[in-house]
Amino acid sequence: MILPIVTIPAALLRQQTKPLTKQELARKETQQLIDDMLETMPASHGIGLAAPQVNHSVRLTVIATDRKPLVVVNARIMQTSKDMENDEEGCLSIPGVYGTIPRHARIRVTFLDRKGKKITLRAQGLLARVFQHEIDHLDGILFVDRTNKFSTPITEEQRRTFVAHKNHNS
């Protein structure tokens, strides 16, 4: 089922998410949420989707760049490169707004797959960027928190909403 995307100023987007236990991950409801997120992401023209964006405060995201979609549970970035790359990002939860964001060029991340198997992955380029963006979502951070360089015009009202929303929920 395609789920509705939560957009700002929804408070859920600014909250720290709860890790999933292996028992919670195995539940039918969680597996259905994963299936729904895997369906919602491409239908919404996204390459990553975090559970808070579909109204669930758990550490779950799905990612699809140029490979088979990844189900990412309880992700933690274990190592980052010192070198950074600037590139444009957008977000399904902030439609129509884009900005240049610095991200680590390479990362090492650990997570559980949908079956609860621990995965360690080295990522670079777009995949590293998407992991960092989606993990930010799980920590209540939005890409607008990481830039003042917007490539699309934003109004002063939008800018105030981003800042007020961040400060209110920090």
Hey, which residues are catalytic here? 134
Is 168 marked within a binding site? no
Strand order in the sheet with 70-80: 48-50, 60-63, 70-80, 106-112, 118-124
With beta carbons less than 8 A apart as the criterion, state whether 165 and 9 touch: yes
Q: CA-CA distance, 41 to 70, in Å (whole number)? A: 12
Q: Which helix (H) or strand (E) holds 121?
A: strand 118-124
Tokens of 130: 């998407």
Query: Does 91 belong to an annotated binding site?
Result: yes
Tell me how crowded residue 22 is: count the other CB atoms within 10 A of its CB: 12
Establish whether 137 is an annotated binding residue: yes
Binding site members for Fe cation: 91, 133, 137
Binding site members: 91, 133, 137
